[in-house]
Amino acid sequence: MPMNSALLIEGALVPASGGNTFATINPATETVLGRAADADADDMDRAIGAARAAFDDTDWSRDTALRVHCLRQLRDALNDEIEQLRSITVAEVGAPVSLTYGGQLQMPVDGLGYVADLAEAYAWTTDLGPAAPFGKPTGRTVVREPCGVVGAVTPWNFPHQINFAKLGPALAAGNAVVLKPAPDTPWCAAEVGRIIHDHTDFPPGVINIVTSGDHRVGAQLTEDPRVDLVSFTGSTATGRAVMVAASHTIKRVFLELGGKSAYVVLDDADLPAACASAAAGVAMHAGQGCAFTTRLLVPRARYDEAVEAASTAMSGIGFGDPTDPATLCGPLISARQRDRVEGYLKIALAEGGRFGCGGGRPVEPSSGFYIEPTVIAGLGNDARVAREEIFGPVLTVIAHDGDADAVRIANDSPYGLSGAVVGTDQDRVDWVASRLRTGTINVNGGVWYSPDAPFGGYKQSGIGREMGLAGFEEYLETKLIAKGVQ
């Protein structure tokens, strides 16, 4: 499936100005899929200028009907080519094909319809009613307006989900956007750019997609004064750098960052079922999800039983070829990421931990960036593998001494992105859930992921919310218009 991709700048599909390209790799086979346009600073400068002109000099920001039309057009065009997009996603991301029917592709595409409907029905103005401040009769109206130019910087793990969670609401709100996707997954974004160019009526410059192997090209978005808001998803360390860079021009930032979420099992829960659920949740997509619950908190009296149950479940999870519908755990995205995960497995042993299962590279497949689904036991919440984001199929089992202690351990983290609680006494479950300092919580198997539901974190997991009404309003400014009444 060879490919060569282009940049989308000012409504045209163009090569990088220097003619440079970079390889994109299939992480399941380690073969080259093709070459992506490798943009430089000049290309990004042109993209920002195009977005600025589209916002300032056209009616895009004020024409809600056009925005709704274009977003529905894009959703339909993506669905018309969904099988091609599915193949690209499996090949470039290493995502198991089964996941492309949910959060890896189909749900994000359909979510564009949600934001189109939201923009169409949204109350863009609110009448506050008459008043007479300082004795002056005044009519007051609150107006919601787009921010301006949005710079979107996205990671490789769920590229369609995160790209569309930024593009959809930002465009629906009336902004112009420059998207800088991750160097590991340029094809996913570039194909969307081709579809936008070939099959939609978005005005030139409203959407610009700039692929590059140079992270400094993305950093331009945080520094350029023509950009009004930066929406970033990635590591907490990079999020800090984004905040610092954006502070020089006092631009708004949205940050969706790391996580080290806890799966809390109460002492009245079905322990084997809970451990199996936790194992599957961490092994999915090789653990490459910021909101995955990678710490399994279990009653101390049943700790050994929990380790055995989680290890049995992990050992039975299908991993390998992501094109196989039975696969849940595919490869890691790159050799660099595999090395990083292996480093954490060595740290776990050095800190006194042991492996219930897994613990390294599998014998088969012999190619691809694979790590066996792994359970780590014998460590407390102070261990590095319990505190730092590994981003691999690794579950750390930690003992707790009751509900309050489980809450303490779960909250003893710099992160607060997600979490889960299971138990049969609903009052106890609710008590624990209400005390977890996280942005999303799965209670007894409930699913929080949906285009209409806000997603984001507490603490060092980020600032703001993505998706839902809250995610849409991240891309809006608030203006008060006060008119004198004669």
Q: How far is the C-alpha of 331 from the C-alpha of 369, rounded, in Å?
A: 5
User: Are 299 and 400 a contacting pair, CB within 8 Å?
Assistant: yes
User: Which two structure tokens, joined as six digits, stand for 233?
Assistant: 């998803």
User: Which two structure tokens, joined as six digits, stand for 65?
Assistant: 């009907």
In terms of C-beta density within 10 A (0-12 exposed, 13-18 middle, 19 or more buried), how is residue 480 classed?
A: exposed
User: Are 178 and 151 a contacting pair, CB within 8 Å?
Assistant: yes
The bridge status of strand 229-233 relative to strand 207-209 is unpaired
What are the φ and ψ backbone dihedral angles of 142, each rounded to 5 degrees?
-95, 125
Map 304-344 to HEC letters: HHHHHHHHHHHHCCCECCCCCCCCCECCCCCHHHHHHHHHH
| 375 strand-pairing partners | 357, 395
Active-site amino acid positions? 256
| 72 strand-pairing partners | none
Chain centre distance of CA 216: 21
Q: How far is the C-alpha of 40 from the C-alpha of 45, rounded, in Å?
A: 9
SS3 377: strand
User: Are 124 and 144 a contacting pair, CB within 8 Å?
Assistant: yes
Strands ordered across the beta sheet of 3-4: 3-4, 32-37, 21-25
| 256 strand-pairing partners | 233, 462
b/e per residue 388-415 (b: at least 16 CB within 10 A): ebbbbbbbbbbbbeebeebbebbbebeb
The bridge status of strand 138-146 relative to strand 476-484 is antiparallel
